[in-house]
Structure 1
Amino acid sequence: MYRRNYPDDPGMHNMSNDRHTRTTFRGNPTFFERVGNSCAGILIGIVLLIVASGLLFFNEGRAVQTAQSLDEGLASVVPLDNANVVFDTNNGKLVHLTGKLSTERVLTDATYNIAVHAVHLRRTVEMYQWVEHQSKTEYNEGSHTRTETTYTYSQEWRTDLVRSEQFDNEFSHRNPTSMAVQSKTQTAHLVKVGQFQLSSGLVAKIANFKPVDQDLINKPEDPNIHVLDGLFIHSLKPMNPQVGDLRVKFEYAGLSGQSMMGDAETVSIVARQLGSELKSYSTVAGDNLEFLYPGAVSAKAIFSKEHAQNTVMTWALRFGGWLLMFVGFACLTNIITTLVDWVPIIRNLVAAGVMILNLSLSISLSLTVIAIGWIRYRPLLGIGILALAATPFIMSRFRRQHHGTARYP
């Protein structure tokens, strides 16, 4: 379909360095080919319905288990008034404490002469590159479809390597194949709050990255590296970058020492105390509790935030499961519209009816799976959701019986 004999390619027009349009043609499928594709779509629809049902059922069990674990954690958590003293009586218990972060060594980047007393130091590298954008317009011309694909090219800063060999017009838009400097994140080896050492899971939760203060950025010795607005620019003309130029940004998270950027950051933690270490706590319900929040946050507030996150996650997965079911039913019923798509008026009416049917079926089946998931934990709630799922079918049957009675008194 795509030929490379520039500039005499008859499928390409409006040629310029940064924009061109390519026209291609393809034959439209016959009626029997569309029916065959619809039959293949039935298999896809069945798979989607199975995946959606599994996702919804898993999600309800996960939501209930997480809620039970959070309630268990809140009921058993032990508040620590002083993070600088380790009491053996709390060994193995779920504890809550608030204190300032501390690390042993300063994190440094010798290449750019950056030094920060923090838990994380992140170096982000971007390269100025060509980026290809596509926009397609299709025109149905009876026995075939004409597709006009417009390619435009712009120069942008990107953290990933853009493969210019995959461009439609690669000759005028070549990108380097590698970056001279790589992005990376340094993490302190030992992170503590008071006398307690944090687990790797807790350290990973320290993610409120902030840009390194410009007062701590010095001009590198390399004359090709310039400092502009807190960024290191690898360019001969930093105000007019060329393809292949680099810019480097530094950010830190978890300030852990006194410096020009301020005092050490305060965090609040809920975790299991094992000696002087803080690790994850296993609940009876089967979850692991290990929370870290910036600032001074009470145990009750932490568990409240976790409950809120659980609710958001639950509804997001419910919507995702319903959407998969809707698409699955659309694949199953696509053959109905295919059989009548040669009659425009009937096709539109049938398509509207099928969409309403798919919407009703996907909602009812989603509610049914959700109800089955809840019956194990809260039978009355599960039965109530099942009744709600059956409501459309009960109303439909009642309506048919009502019409039948009215017709034959």
Structure 2
Amino acid sequence: MSQDPLVVTTHASWLQRLGGALAGMAVGVILVLGGLTLLFGNEGRAVRAAQTLDEGGRLATSASPDRIDPAQEGRPIHVVGMAQAAGPLSDESTGLRISGLRLVRKVELYQWVETVRTETRTRLGGGEETVATYDYRLEWSSLPVDSDGFKQPQGHVNPEPILKDQDFSTPQIRLGRRRLGPEAAAGLPATETVVLLAGDAQEAERRLGRKVVVSGDALYVGADPALPAVGDARIRYAAAPWGPISVIAGQQGADLVPYATRHGRLYEVRAGRLDAETMLQDAKAANQVLTWLVRLGGAVAIILGLALILNPAKVAADVFPPAGAIVGFGVVALAFIFGAILSALTIATAWLVVRPLLSVVVLTLGALVALGIWRFKAARGTRSEPRVVGTQ
């Protein structure tokens, strides 16, 4: 369901735009500094994580879940066994109770959603006209939408959500004679859909004070699933069931706790029966993925920051819109080029700090390659052409 859109036209003079662009330079500086800090710190974090996994792999020994060996006290061990919770898990808001290691509640809300489409035109003289079209539509959304921030809140009011997403983890996992804390359960994937029964809907209705029925794999909070109204909700549950898990952690009596290496803490918990090598390789792969994602995020922040710093030049040139378009293209190109160079230099500098030996080797090889290319080109450039002797 949607309503007629709201169209709002605003105008900004050249001086207003220039003032905004100059103010945006401060934001650009913050973005550049934040990106540089993120990139530099990320390299150290990645190296420490890799070193922690390497050290754990060298020191970890296999252990039984049912026998606690005093000789392994204070050392990293690898344990595989059947995990059980000390008691049932429950969502006190709806009264749902299950036997599992982790319970995840996901809530969808039927609510008004605002979408905005903007079209900007630059006028001769540097002024700017912006036409914003606000559309309002009733949709199912997994994120609560605050209607107070709408351009036109009248007639598009969303009530407070009856429930929000929540994660419930067992405070203690039993692994034979061993124990794990709530941090272990929080990292297990909730892959099993909880089948909901009529009794679950009745208990939820009693606790929520609204009509609740089972609709597919969800508890539907509202009068009629076929005719949703603003404020209705669909509640779904997923669980990490009892079953086999694999752990690499430190032994502290009967407790499996994070093991402190020289570089960080080692605490790996995975669902299923996995050997130590597979667990460590998976953790290293996840560390590499995270490292590249942070690198990308830092580089994007630097490029955006440089674009904001250079943006006043584009706004100044907008007095003559075609010139502004050309300068704008140059601003984007320069921000991308120098942002990429600055990101690479920052990562290289961080490597000199956290990986000095490897950095020296890489730089030496690079210098040798560059020197070889230069000497090859120099030799070709100075090679004399053969003299042709002919008869006349």
Provide the TM-score with structure 2 as the length reference.
Answer: 0.80
1:335-354 mapped onto 2 (5 Å cutoff): 335-342=312-319, 347=324, 350-354=327-331
- Which residue of the other structure, out of 163, 169, 192, is the alignment partner of 1:187? 169
Structure 2 counterpart of 1:277: 255
1:310 positional shift:
1.3
1:65 positional shift:
1.5
Judge conservation of contact 1:114–1:216 (CA < 8 Å) in 2.
Answer: no
> What is the root-mean-square deviation of aligned Cα atoms in Å?
3.3
Q: Does 1:22 align with 2:7?
A: yes
User: Residue type of the partner of 1:22?
Assistant: V
TM-aligned CA distance change 1:36 to 1:64, over 3 Å: same
Q: Deviations over 1:116-138 (max 9, x none)?
A: 21122333344322222222223
User: Residue type of the partner of 1:235?
Assistant: G
Gaps of 5+ in 2: 374-392
User: Residue type of the partner of 1:153?
Assistant: Y
Structure 2 counterpart of 1:8: none
1:154 positional shift:
2.0
The 1-side partners of 2:298 and 2:191 are apart by 33
Structure 1 counterpart of 2:380: none
Q: SS of the counterpart of 1:75?
A: helix
1:294 positional shift:
0.9
1:354 positional shift:
4.7
Gaps of 5+ in 1: 1-15, 257-264, 396-409
TM-aligned CA distance change 1:231 to 1:87, over 3 Å: same
The 2-side partners of 1:125 and 1:177 are apart by 13
- Which residue of the other structure, out of 265, 268, 274, is the alignment partner of 1:288? 265
Judge conservation of contact 1:19–1:150 (CA < 8 Å) in 2.
Answer: no
Q: Deviations over 1:380-408 (max 9, x none)?
A: 5435459979x99xx9xxxxxxxxxxxxx
Q: Deviations over 1:264-300 (max 9, x none)?
A: x111111001000000011112x11101111111111
Higher helix share: 2
User: Residue type of the partner of 1:205?
Assistant: G
The 2-side partners of 1:356 and 1:166 are apart by 35
1:192-207 mapped onto 2 (5 Å cutoff): 192-207=174-189
Structure 2 counterpart of 1:304: 281
Q: SS of the counterpart of 1:292?
A: strand
The 2-side partners of 1:297 and 1:131 are apart by 45
Structure 2 counterpart of 1:72: 55
User: Residue type of the partner of 1:376?
Assistant: V
Say which structure, 1 or 2, has more relative contact order (CA 8 Å, 6+ apart): 2
Structure 2 counterpart of 1:403: none
Q: SS of the counterpart of 2:153?
A: coil
- Which residue of the other structure, out of 109, 121, 126, is the alignment partner of 1:139? 121
Q: Does 1:117 align with 2:102?
A: no
Q: Does 1:333 align with 2:302?
A: no
User: Residue type of the partner of 1:132?
Assistant: E
Judge conservation of contact 2:123–2:321 (CA < 8 Å) in 1.
Answer: no
Q: SS of the counterpart of 1:149?
A: strand
- Which residue of the other structure, out of 153, 158, 169, is the alignment partner of 1:175? 158
Structure 1 counterpart of 2:223: 236
Judge conservation of contact 1:368–1:385 (CA < 8 Å) in 2.
Answer: no
1:158 positional shift:
3.7
Structure 1 counterpart of 2:237: 250
User: Residue type of the partner of 1:133?
Assistant: T
Structure 2 counterpart of 1:48: 31
Percentage of matched positions with identical amino acids: 27
The 1-side partners of 2:224 and 2:191 are apart by 29
